[in-house]
C-alpha cells in the first residue's frame, strides 16, 4: 500500500539535544512538507521540498533543518535552537506541477516532547 | 496576506446535521480542501471543490462555496459519533501545493 510513514510515533528528548524525525513516502511524489501542529493554532509550515536536493523555508523554519537526498525521504531535525520544540509534527507529500489539484497526503505524525 | 479562518468548536447531537464554516483570503486557489483529523492521527483528505463550482455533494458531505465572499462550508448530514474529529479547511494559493490551513474546528457529536 502506498503511503507516508513517520517514525517514531512518540519521541522524548532532554532540552539541549538535537533530534531527527523520520518521514518516508512510497507514493512517488516530488514534493514533501513538514508542518507543526499546536493546539488551537492549526498547522504551520516548517520546511518544504519540491524536488530532490532542494528545499525552502516555510513560515517557522527557525530552529529546524532538513535534507532531501532521496525522493522518498525528508527527515526533519529539531535543533537545540528551537525554543518551543514540544509539538505534534506532521509530514506530507504531494505531486504539484503535473496537475492543478494537488492535495497533500499526510503521515500519522510524531509527537515530540522535550523536557 | 494569506489567512484561513474557522470557528474552533461545534457541538451537535447524533443524527443532526453539522455545518462547519471557513473563510479564506486568496482568490487564486483553484481548489479548496476539507481534511479530517482523528485524535493522535494525521490529516485525511475528506473532499475538495473546484473553484468554479458552487456546490459538491459526496454521500453525507456537502461542500458549498461562495467565491464572492470567499466562504466555504462543509455540511455533514446525519452526523454520527464517528464523525467526532477536528476538521480543517485549506486553500492552495497560486496552486503552489503549499496549502494554507485554518485553525481547525473540533466537532463534538453527543449521543
Q: B6-56: per-residue pLDDT in tens?
A: 989 999 999 999 999 999 988 887 889 999 999 989 999 999 999 889 999
Quick: pLDDT tens for B50-108.
988 999 999 999 999 999 999 999 999 999 999 999 999 999 887 777 889 999 999 99
User: Within 10 Å of residue A104's Cβ, how many Cβ atoms?
Assistant: 28
Instruction: Say how far apart CA A100 and CA B96 lie, in whole Å.
Output: 9
Which SS3 state, helix, strand or coil, does residue A24 take?
strand
CA atoms within 13 A on the CB side of B101: 26
Instruction: Say how far apart CA A106 and CA B10 lie, in whole Å.
Output: 24
Tens of pLDDT, residue by residue, chain A (115 residues): 679 999 999 999 999 999 999 999 999 999 999 999 998 778 999 999 999 999 999 999 999 999 999 999 999 999 999 999 999 999 999 987 655 677 899 999 999 999 9
Cell of B19: 455545518
Which chain B residues contact residue A103 at CB under 8 A? Answer: 31, 33, 45, 48, 99
pLDDT at A102: 79
Instruction: Say how far apart CA B106 and CA B88 lie, in whole Å.
Output: 9
Which chain B residues contact residue A106 at CB under 8 A? Answer: 35, 42-44
Phi-psi region of B25 (alpha: psi -120 to 50; beta: other; left: phi over 0): alpha
**Number of A–B residue contacts, CB under 8 Å:** 64
pLDDT at B2: 61
Partners of A49 in the β-ladder: A32
Residue of higher predicted confidence among B111 and B26: B111
Which residue of B lies nearest to A4 if distances are taken between CA atoms?
Answer: B42
pLDDT at A78: 96
Amino acid at each position: 500500500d502506498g503511503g507516508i510513514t513517520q517514525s517514531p510515533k512518540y519521541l522524548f528528548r532532554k532540552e539541549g539535544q538535537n533530534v531527527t524525525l523520520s518521514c518516508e513516502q512510497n507514493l512517488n511524489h516530488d514534493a514533501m512538507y513538514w508542518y507543526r501542529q499546536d493546539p488551537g493554532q492549526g498547522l504551520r509550515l516548517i520546511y518544504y521540498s519540491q524536488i530532490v536536493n532542494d528545499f525552502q523555508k516555510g513560515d517557522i523554519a527557525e530552529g529546524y533543518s532538513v535534507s532531501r537526498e532521496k525522493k522518498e525521504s525528508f527527515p526533519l531535525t529539531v535543533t537545540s535552537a528551537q525554543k518551543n520544540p514540544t509539538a505534534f509534527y506532521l509530514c506530507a507529500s504531494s505531486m504539484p506541477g503535473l496537475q492543478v489539484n494537488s492535495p497533500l497526503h499526510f503521515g500519522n505524525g510524531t509527537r515530540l516532547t522535550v523536557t | 496576506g494569506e489567512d484561513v479562518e474557522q470557528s474552533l468548536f461545534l457541538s451537535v447531537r447524533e443524527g443532526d446535521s453539522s455545518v462547519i464554516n471557513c473563510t479564506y483570503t486568496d482568490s487564486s486557489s483553484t481548489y479548496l480542501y476539507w481534511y479530517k483529523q482523528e485524535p493522535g492521527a494525521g490529516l485525511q483528505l475528506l473532499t475538495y471543490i473546484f473553484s468554479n463550482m458552487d456546490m459538491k455533494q459526496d454521500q453525507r458531505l456537502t461542500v458549498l462555496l461562495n467565491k464572492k465572499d470567499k466562504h466555504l462550508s462543509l455540511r455533514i448530514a446525519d452526523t454520527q459519533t464517528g464523525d467526532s474529529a477536528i476538521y480543517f479547511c485549506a486553500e492552495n494559493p497560486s496552486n503552489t501545493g503549499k496549502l494554507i490551513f485554518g485553525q481547525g474546528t473540533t466537532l463534538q457529536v453527543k449521543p
